Structure 1
C-alpha cells in the first residue's frame, strides 16, 4: 500500500513539474513576442553599415596628407630646414616608414618636396617647395587669427563636461581638431585667466583645465542644432512641434528605410531630451524615460562636439577621451552606427585602425558647406598632394646629372667599341655591319630608360585613379 501511494505521489509531482515548464515557456514566448513588437517602434540596436564614398575618398586624401605632414615636420626640424638624402632613410624609419620607402615617397609629391644638389658639397638634399612653405605660412596665420574663436570653443567644451573641467592631456591630443595652437597651454589657457585655470589633481596627479566663470554666458549654451532648427523652421515652415527636438537626417545613398523604421524615427525625433550644457546631476535617471532622454542627449553632445571642430570631423578615439566627462555610452561605434543619418563613421585612412566621425549635415559632395580660413589653408596642402607629378618643374641640374651619367656609360661603351673596331679594321674587317649594331645598342639603351620612367609615372597615376574612385 505504501509503495502504491509513493508511486502516485511521484506521478503527481512529475505532472506539476511538466505543467510548470509549459506555463514558463508560454510566458517566455509572450515576453519575446512583446519585445519583437516593441522593437518595431524603436530604433534597432544594430543597423547595417552603408558606405558613403564621398567621405571615404576624403579620408584617402587625408591618409596621404598625414604622411606628408610627418615628412614636413621632419624637414622643418633639421638645420636650415634641409635634409641630406643620405640620411633620409635612417630618419624616415623613426616616423614609421619602411626601408627604401622614403625616397620613392618624396618623389611622388614634387609639388611639396624638392630634391636639389648642394652647390658646394655636391650632394643631394631635400627641402620644401615654395608652394609648400607658403601653405604652412598661410595655415599659421589662419591659426593665429582664429584664436578668439578657439577660446570660445574651449569654453563651450568645458561647459559640456559634468564638472566643468577636462584633462589637459585629452585636450592636447585633440588640439588640431578644435583649432588650438600647439602652445595653447600658454597662448590660450594662461593668457585668459578670466575664463580658465590650470591645476594639478592631488588624487591622480594629472593636470586639468577648469572653467572659472561663476555665471555661464547664455549665448554660449545655445547648441548648433538649435540654430539649425530655427533656420529650417524659417526657411521651410515646418510644424514647430515636429521640429522642436528633431535633428537633420541625411541617410547615405543605398540605406534601406522600412515602414517600422520610419515610424520609429518619427517617434525618436519628437522625443524630448536635456541639453548638453544642462546639469543633469539633480535628475533621477533610473526610469526608462530618463534613459531614453539621456541617449538622445548623448547624440546631441556628439553633434555639438563635432560642430565645435574646425573641419566638422574628429576621430572616434579622441571622442572616447571625453566619454566619462560627458556621459557618453561605452560602445561609441555601435551607438553612432544607430544614427547613420546624422553621423558617418569612416574606417579609411589607416588600414581600418582609425575611425573618423563626420557630421553629415556639414558636408555636401565631400566638401565643407561653410568653410573657414583654417580649413581652406589645410585643403591647400591636399591640392598640392593631388597635383600630378608630371606638371612639376623638375630641377634641371638633377636631370642633367642623370643624363650625364647615362652619357658617360654610353661613352664608355662606345669607346670600347671604337677600339675594337679599330683593331678589326687593321685586320681588314668591314665597318658597315658594326655601325648598324652601334645604332641598335644606343637605341636600346635609350628606350629602356624612357620606358622605365614612363611606367613609373603610369603606375602612380593608376594608383591615384583607383584611390579616387574607391
Structure 2
C-alpha cells in the first residue's frame, strides 16, 4: 500500500489533533486591511439607494428611514455629514425639505463602478465564481438569503438578480428548498447543470501552473501557511500540522461526507472548502458569521468553527469593527491584497473619498 493510502486510512479513522489550545495572536497588518474598509459597505449601500431613485436623490426623511435596514453606525444625517465628499445635501426649492445626493466625484466613481460590473469580461468572471460558490462540497443550490450575506464580499452588483442572473439562464435558476436551519421553504439559487470545467480549486490551479503531474496535482497539495513573526505554535501542535499537511488533498468540489467527521482527513477537506470559499471572494475575507451560515447549509457549521480555530496559519480572525472577520492570510502581503480584483480597485477609490479631508 502506498504511503498516501496508508495516511488516508489512518487519518480517516482517527482524530489526532492534540488537546492543546491554539492561541490567537494579533496581526496588525491584517487588522489594518479590515479597518480601512470601516463603513465602506454602508457608504456604498446608501449610494446605491440614492442612484436607484428616479431623481438620483433622497429626502432627508427617507434617507433617515434607511438607518436600520443599512445598519448605519450613526444617524443618517450624521453619516451623510461625516462623508461630505461622497454625499451632498441640498434644498430643491424654498420651503421644501432638504435632500441628499451624490457629489460630482462620487457620481463619477459610481459610473466607473457600473462600467466594471457591466463589462462582459467581469460579468462572465462573476457568473463563474457564483457558479463555483454553488458547487462547493458537491452541492448545486444555495438559499438566496445566504448569497445575500456573501453578496458584498463576492463583489456582486447590488441588483445582481436583474443585471447578472438574467444574462445566464444556462447557468442559474431559482427554486424552492427547505432551509436547514428553520425547516421552512425558502427561495434558492440553483445551478442548471454541473460544470466540470469550473470544479477546479484555486490551489489545484496553482499546482497545475507549476507543471506537476496529474497525480501530484490531485493529492500532494499542502496549504500555504503564513504566521506572524511573533507567533509560535506549540511543538506538539506544529508536529500535528506538519503531519496533517501530508494528507491527501480532496477537492472542495467533491462530496466527501463519507469520511469520518472526526477524522483529520475530513478536516483537511473542510479546510479546503473554507480556503476555496474565501478565494472566491473579491476581498478574500468575510465576516465569520457568513462562513458559519454557509457551513450550516452544507451541514458543516460545527466543522467550520473548529477548522478556523485550528489553522491560524491559513485563516486570520480579526476582531475589529464590532465583529469577527476571517481573512485568507495568503491573499495579503502586509495590509494589501496580492491580487486586486477590479471591484476592489473601485472600492479603494471610494475609501479615498471617504478619508479625504
After TM superposition, the score normalised by the length of structure 1 is 0.62
Q: For 1:401-412, what aligned pairs fall within 5 Å after superposition? A: none
CA contact (8 A) 1:298 1:327 kept: no
Q: Distance in 1 between matches of 2:275 and 2:54?
A: 44
Superposition CA RMSD, Å: 3.3
RCO comparison, higher one (Cα < 8 Å, 6+): 2
Gaps of 5+ in 2: 1-13
Residue 332 of structure 1: aligned partner:
304
Which of the residues 312, 315, 319 maps onto 1:347?
319
Which of the residues 338, 343, 347 maps onto 1:378?
347
Residue 228 of structure 2: aligned partner:
252
CA contact (8 A) 1:162 1:326 kept: no
Change over 3 Å in CA distance of 1:148–1:96 after alignment to 2? closer
Asked if 1:294 is matched to 2:260, the reply is no
Change over 3 Å in CA distance of 1:318–1:90 after alignment to 2? closer
Asked if 1:106 is matched to 2:80, the reply is yes
Residue 7 of structure 2: aligned partner:
none
Offset, 1:194: 2.6
Offset, 1:112: 1.4
Give a deviation string over 1:65-116, Cα, whole Å, max 9, x none. Answer: 234335434544666334556x4895465455688x5444433333212345
Residue 127 of structure 1: aligned partner:
101
Give the number of aligned pairs: 333
Q: Distance in 1 between matches of 2:291 and 2:325?
A: 10
Change over 3 Å in CA distance of 1:90–1:47 after alignment to 2? same
Residue 205 of structure 2: aligned partner:
227
Residue 293 of structure 2: aligned partner:
321
Give a deviation string over 1:133-169, Cα, whole Å, max 9, x none. Answer: 1111122221122111111112212221444222223
Residue 143 of structure 1: aligned partner:
117
Change over 3 Å in CA distance of 1:45–1:317 after alignment to 2? farther
* 2:153 counterpart SS class: coil
Residue 55 of structure 1: aligned partner:
30
* 1:330 counterpart SS class: helix
Offset, 1:213: 2.2
Asked if 1:268 is matched to 2:249, the reply is no
Residue 47 of structure 2: aligned partner:
72
CA contact (8 A) 1:161 1:325 kept: no
Give a deviation string over 1:366-386, Cα, whole Å, max 9, x none. Answer: 111111211101111111112
Change over 3 Å in CA distance of 1:129–1:50 after alignment to 2? same
Asked if 1:312 is matched to 2:312, the reply is no
Offset, 1:337: 2.1
Offset, 1:358: 1.1
Offset, 1:62: 2.1
Residue 212 of structure 1: aligned partner:
192
Offset, 1:121: 5.6
Asked if 1:367 is matched to 2:347, the reply is no
Change over 3 Å in CA distance of 1:176–1:144 after alignment to 2? farther
More helix by share: 1
Gaps of 5+ in 1: 1-37, 235-239, 389-470
* 2:327 counterpart SS class: strand
Residue 81 of structure 1: aligned partner:
56
CA contact (8 A) 1:314 1:358 kept: yes
Q: Distance in 1 between matches of 2:30 and 2:99?
A: 37
Change over 3 Å in CA distance of 1:307–1:275 after alignment to 2? same
Offset, 1:190: 4.6
Change over 3 Å in CA distance of 1:103–1:262 after alignment to 2? same
